[in-house]
């Protein structure tokens, strides 16, 4: 059976000292909550501190991006080898903020995903429609296209290390959440697309998260849906109590 994964995405928040204090506070609150995997994806400079603070706990640490080249003249970028050496286990790829503000495309998402998988990370690949696309009734086409382009050329045996985060862009950081029905339906469309690409068994196995203003109030309803296998959580992952409540909702 597929795993539920509750992952925080801290974005550009928290210093190393804040990271240490946060994880020391969170660890006892989520101890023993083993019906889901618990991940915090943090800024690059916080990773080493986070990994150290999370030692001996059930919290895993991820990065928010990864470059696809091994090394070289790519000012400002971070390689798989660098992330590996400091104990990173997960990597978010293709977040809508990367697509929107930093020119990320499905082609670069695909390259980064391949690099992450080749290095043995679990890749959290983000996709989702913008508001105009939902209003135009083309959400299903958009997420199917992104799924195909983002995973192009990725062999079936690597799919076990892929998590898809369905994040409707209009719901991210806006306080607007997809209804549980919308989240379930679109995660279901992505799962069908995975079935077409990799077969029914792979589609049953893959973890598909919902992200976009998931919080302590709405998590239980969203996570109860059959096609929603966890959450990628921005704002609410910056508060230990809200994040713990979401973990609890995944452990009912």
Sequential DSSP letters for 175-188 = S----HHHHHHHHH
132 tagged catalytic: no
110: closest CA among 71, 66, 149? 149
Per rule CB under 6 A, is residue 213 in the interface with ligand PGA? yes
We find the least distance from the C-beta atom of residue 92 to ligand PGA, in angstroms, to be 8
Point out the catalytic residue in the list 95, 97, 104, 129: 95
What does the per-residue mask of binding to ligand PGA show for 6-25, with x meaning CB under 6 A?
---x----------------
Among 214, 219, 247, 249, binds ligand PGA (CB under 6 A): 214
Q: Are the beta carbons of 213 and 232 closer than 8 angstroms?
A: no
- Assess 182 for contact with ligand PGA (CB under 6 A): no
- Tell me the two tokens of residue 34: 């083993």
Q: Which is nearer to ligand PGA, 79 or 177 (CB)?
A: 177
Q: Which is nearer to ligand PGA, 198 or 243 (CB)?
A: 243
Residue 95 designated active-site: yes
Among 172, 219, 222, 247, binds ligand PGA (CB under 6 A): 172
Strand 162-166 versus strand 4-9 pairing type: unpaired
Question: What does the DSSP 8-state code read for residue 121?
Answer: P
Q: Read out DSSP for 193-231? A: HHHHHH-HHHHHH-EEEEESS--TTTHHHHHTSTT--EE
User: Rule CB under 6 A: which residues touch ligand PGA?
Assistant: 9, 167, 172-173, 211-214, 232-236
């Amino acid at each position: 059976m597929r795993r539920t994964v509750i992952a925080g995405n801290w974005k550009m928040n928290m210093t190393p000292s804040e990271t240490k204090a946060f994880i020391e506070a969170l660890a006892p609150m989520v101890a023993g909550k083993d019906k889901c995997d618990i991940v915090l994806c943090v800024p690059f400079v916080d990773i080493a501190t986070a990994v150290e603070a999370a030692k001996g706990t059930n919290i895993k640490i991820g990065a928010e991006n990864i470059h696809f080249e091994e090394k070289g003249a790519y000012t400002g970028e971070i390689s798989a080898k660098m992330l590996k050496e400091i104990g990173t286990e997960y990597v978010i790829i293709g977040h809508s903020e990367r697509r929107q503000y930093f020119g990320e495309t499905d082609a670069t998402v695909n390259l980064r995903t391949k690099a992450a998988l080749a290095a043995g990370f679990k890749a959290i690949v983000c996709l989702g429609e913008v508001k105009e696309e939902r209003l135009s009734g083309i959400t299903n086409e958009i997420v199917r296209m992104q799924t195909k382009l983002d995973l192009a050329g990725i062999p079936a045996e690597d799919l076990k290390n892929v998590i898809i985060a369905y994040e409707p862009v209009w719901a991210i950081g806006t306080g607007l959440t997809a209804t549980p029905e919308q989240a379930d339906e679109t995660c279901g469309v992505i799962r069908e697309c995975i079935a077409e690409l990799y077969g029914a068994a792979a589609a049953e196995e893959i973890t598909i998260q919902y992200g976009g203003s998931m919080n302590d109030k709405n998590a239980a309803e969203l996570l109860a849906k059959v096609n929603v296998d966890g959450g990628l959580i921005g704002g609410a992952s910056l508060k230990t109590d809200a994040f713990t409540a979401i973990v609890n909702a995944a452990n009912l």
